[in-house]
Structure formats: structure tokens, C-alpha cells
Amino acid sequence: MEQIIVDIIDQFGYIGVFLLIALENIFPPIPSEVILTFSGFMTTFSTMKAWGVIAAATFGSLAGAAILYIIGRVLNTERLGRLFESRLGRALHLKKEDVKRAENWFINHGGKTVFFCRFVPIVRSLISLPAGSSKMKLRAFLPLTLIGTFIWNTVLVFLGRIAGNTWETIADYVDIYSIIAAALFALAAVFIGIRFIKKRFLERDHDDEGPGQS
């Protein structure tokens, strides 16, 4: 995949950066660190300029984030609530109140979440889905996305420019950071899952036994 990314940027320049970053936001496995650091390196010997690359990458990020936001609006909390009330939802001990609780949490903390998650690979893309499903205002979502992705893009482009021929080293370090971040989020998800199972399954089964049962 890395060679394909390099070839696209080499052939299409700013347009290639825009399209690749937009796709990276929709399909997180595409590595933004390769796109941005190589683009930064290209500014040292081609006609591409660092701020032009940053602008193309930032607008590409906005385009990809907007698409996921719209998908989130389609998969809104009302539909998720109906899914939770279905037979499958009841079998998994899911409740419609869970969706409302998550929506209220995102309404209260969504701004900080959208901004800071822009610095976490994979999550930086997926965060647009709950922003859309919770109906976060576009006038808040778009500026926070713009600022967060601008900072991320600027740092990686200039690191690639400074590294020059060794831009792949920077990409490798960011890849390590991505793995660590993904592992931490996975651990957090496991912890939340264990708490959910304990609360909804184990404690309920214990209550069903009743004080007089052996």
C-alpha cells in the first residue's frame, strides 16, 4: 500500500494528497503518516509547497469527516434505540436508555472528544460517526475538525520535510504510536465491556436468585 500512496502523490500532487487523506478518514487502515511525511519530503525537491500540502490534507480530512458525519446522522440514535429494543438487543441485555445516555454524554463532552481524537490514529476517523449520530452541530463539528486535523497535518508534513530522505523513519515512529494508541483503546474497550457484562448479566443473575434461594 505504501508504494501505491507514494505513486499517487508523485503523479497527482496536491489532488492526490486531498483524495488520499479523504479516503484515509473513511477507511482508517490507510496510513496518514505515510501520506503526510512523504508529501513533506516531496516539498524539498518538487514544486509542491509545505503549506499547499497542509491545505490539501486538511480539506481532504474535512471531506472525509463530513461523509462519516452524514453516515452517523443516518444511523441516528433513534434507529439505534430501536435496534436495542429488538430481540437481539434484549438478548444482549441492551437498553434504549444506553443510547440516550451515550448521546447525552457526547452532547456534554463531544467538543473536546472530537478535537483530541483527531490526534489518535483510527479513532480520529471513526469519531465522526458518533458526532453525527448524536446530532452534534456542524458549526461546532467542522471548526473542531478543521483545527485538530490542521495541527496533525502540519506536524507530520514538517517532520517529513525535516527528515528528508529518511521520511520513512518518521512514518515508522508514528506507526508505533498508532499501535500503542490502538492497544490502549482496545484495553479501554475491554474494561468497559467487562463492566457492562458484570452489571447487566452477572449482577442481574445474582438478583434473580433471590435472598432465599441456595
In a domain, 214, yes or no: no
- Reported as a single tens digit per residue, the pLDDT across 92-139 is 445 555 556 656 667 677 788 888 888 877 778 778 888 888 888 888
13 Cβ contact list (under 8 Å, min separation 6): 46, 47, 48
Spatial separation of the C-alpha atoms in residues 57 and 94, rounded to whole Å: 39
Spatial separation of the C-alpha atoms in residues 106 and 177, rounded to whole Å: 26
In a domain, 203, yes or no: yes
pLDDT number for residue 32: 83
In a domain, 52, yes or no: yes
Number of domains in the chain: 1
In a domain, 138, yes or no: yes
Q: List, for the chain, all residue ranges whose pLDDT scores fall below the cut of 70.
A: 1, 28, 76-105, 107, 185, 189, 192-193, 195-214
In a domain, 191, yes or no: yes
Q: Which residue range(s) make up the domain with 148? A: 2-209
pLDDT number for residue 214: 47
In a domain, 32, yes or no: yes
